[in-house]
Each structure stands twice: as C-alpha cells, then as structure tokens.
C-alpha cells in the first residue's frame, strides 16, 4: 500500500486512516505506555489527542529498544496529526494521516515490536 492511499475495506478515506492509527496504537500503547485507547475515534481532533497522549506517555516511560527513535517518531506523528486536525487550506489531510500512521509503525518497530507488513 502506498503511504498516500487509504486502506481498503470497511474503513476507507480519512475515517479509515483515523481508525487505522487508533488500531495500531491500541495494539501496543496500553501495554507499553499505560495509555487508554478508546474503542473508536470520531475525527481528526480525537486522533490528534490520542497520538499526543501516546507521545507524552513515551516521554515519562522507560522504553525498550531504540527509545530515542520511538520518542522522535511519536512526536513527529503527534505534530502531523495536529496539522491534519487544524485543517489549514494547504494541508493534505490524507497525506498527513498516512505519515502519522507510518510514524506510529516506525515507533513500534523501534521498540522491538513486530509490525505486520501491509501491501
């Protein structure tokens, strides 16, 4: 799958990307960082809040693996999700969210977690 293309299936478009990010964080955020991940998200602002909370939790948690890279990726993802939520005229929301999703995946890999490859 290209980084700029939304996932196929029941969750497509911007909503699909938001749900994909939530699902990825739900897979490892609670166990590693103690962050509560809602069962669903309803929009860009909630995704931005969720990614921001995960990034903040990473700052105060002892992390395995390449913790500096994981923290940097999460902070970049938090900034990207905030940019998407702000909805500025020149912002490509889908591209921002695809970058956020990729950053969350890179953070998980940096922590030594297995991340499935999706084509």
- Per-residue pLDDT tens digits for 80-98: 999 889 877 767 888 899 9
- This prediction has a pTM of 0.80
Which residues, 6+ apart, have CB-to-CB distance to 107 below 8 Å?
58, 69, 70, 71, 73, 74, 77
Mean pLDDT of the chain: 84
> Strand, coil or helix: what is 83?
helix
**pLDDT band per the 50, 70, 90 thresholds, residue 119:** low
CA distance 119 to 113: 19
Percent of the chain predicted with pLDDT > 70: 87
Percent of the chain predicted with pLDDT > 90: 43
CA distance 34 to 60: 11
Cα 113–chain centre separation: 15
Interval 37-55 mean pLDDT: 89
The pLDDT of residue 116: 76
């Amino acid at each position: 799958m290209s980084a700029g293309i939304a996932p196929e299936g029941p969750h497509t478009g911007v909503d699909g990307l938001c749900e994909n990010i939530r699902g990825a964080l739900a897979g490892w955020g609670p166990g590693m960082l103690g962050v509560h991940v809602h069962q669903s998200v309803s929009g860009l602002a909630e995704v931005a809040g969720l990614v921001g909370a995960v990034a903040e939790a990473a700052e105060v948690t002892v992390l395995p693996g390449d913790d500096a890279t994981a923290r940097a990726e999460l902070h970049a993802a938090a900034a990207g999700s905030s940019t998407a939520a702000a909805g500025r005229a020149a912002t490509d929301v889908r591209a921002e969210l695809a970058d956020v999703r990729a950053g969350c995946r890179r953070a998980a890999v940096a922590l030594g977690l297995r991340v499935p490859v999706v084509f």
